[in-house]
Amino acid sequence: MAEYDPNCISKKENQKLPHRLDRHEGAKKLASLYSTGKRVQEVICVYSCIFLMLINFFMILKHLRIDRISEVIFSAICGIVTADFSSGIVHWAGDSWGSVELPFIGKNFIRPFREHHIDATSITRHDWIQTNGGNFMIGIPILLKLTFIFYNSSSTEIQAEYPFCAYLFLCSIFVAITNQIHKWSHTYFGLPVWVQILQNYHIILPRKHHRIHHVAPHVSYFCITTGWLNWPLEKIKFWSTLESIVTYFTGCKPREDDLKWAKTS
Ligand SMILES: [Zn+2]
Ligand SMILES: [Zn+2]
């Protein structure tokens, strides 16, 4: 599919999008499957996650020792790399397998992946909750684990585990904000300057970099947090090897459902 590059539209064109979407039945149908129940789940997850982020941020600052800063920075970078890798695994799994027809997970968790491929700009029209609900949910168990460490350990034990805590904290933050970063990678107008600087220095997913994934049939560059792992994973043929293993054991072919929705027009 990909008759047009959805990442390269002008502001004028973006304003016309509702009319363009009228032409794609699949995109319209997928958007209509966003339910009230899903919305409620997203609201709960976003605010619970922010609450846990604040608690853990306070504890991280409270136990920070400047003499261990290099160790902490290294752990934090490892946390960000883990978040990037996780974004790739989740994105690859959501894009390549399963179907919107599956009970519960289909409409609630696979649907957004299908919608994003046939209408890549729809994410730019999603509000804060719809953009971040899914990823903030994944951040919650990591932050709960961290909270458990902070509130069930002595100061000496916390110091011993501090690099691991910094790792978990940065990993959870970057996991949670992944879809916001992804949304920014599709936003060509009105981005704050600081976001553009982070993109230009490849600290977060750059716009040009993410466009590689949006070339049909969407088989590469799945990492969408920083995108740092995309090139090395492509070089070792990580995704295609993983797909061959899944197909060998299950007999399922990757992206069957994705292709079905792409043809619905
Ligand atoms: Zn995708
Ligand atoms: Zn995208």
- 220 C-alpha to ligand 2 centroid (Å): 12
- 91 C-alpha to ligand 1 centroid (Å): 6
Task: For residue 34, give Cα distances in angstroms to 31, 68, 162, 188, 206.
Answer: 6, 46, 40, 25, 28
Q: Give SS3 for 21.
A: helix
- 155 C-alpha to ligand 2 centroid (Å): 43
- 163 C-alpha to ligand 2 centroid (Å): 32
- 184 C-alpha to ligand 2 centroid (Å): 9
Ligand nearest to the CA of 112: 1
Q: Which of 143, 220, 128, 209 is nearest to 175 (CA)?
A: 143
Residue listed under structure tokens 């947090």: 225
- 221 C-alpha to ligand 2 centroid (Å): 10
Q: What is the pLDDT of residues 99-109, one digit of tens each?
A: 999 988 888 88
- 90 C-alpha to ligand 2 centroid (Å): 13
- 48 C-alpha to ligand 2 centroid (Å): 26
Ligand nearest to the CA of 181: 2
- 186 C-alpha to ligand 2 centroid (Å): 7
- 141 C-alpha to ligand 2 centroid (Å): 25
78 touches 226 (CB < 8 A): no
pLDDT for position 13: 47
Task: For residue 211, give Cα distances in angstroms to 57, 205, 208.
Answer: 33, 10, 5
Mean per-residue pLDDT of the chain: 88
- 210 C-alpha to ligand 2 centroid (Å): 7
- 214 C-alpha to ligand 1 centroid (Å): 7
Ligand nearest to the CA of 179: 2
- 193 C-alpha to ligand 2 centroid (Å): 21
Residues with pLDDT less than 50, the chain? 1-21
Q: Which of 148, 152, 151, 146 is nearest to 169 (CA)?
A: 146
pLDDT for position 189: 87
**Cα 48 from Cα 42, distance rounded (Å):** 10
- 225 C-alpha to ligand 2 centroid (Å): 11
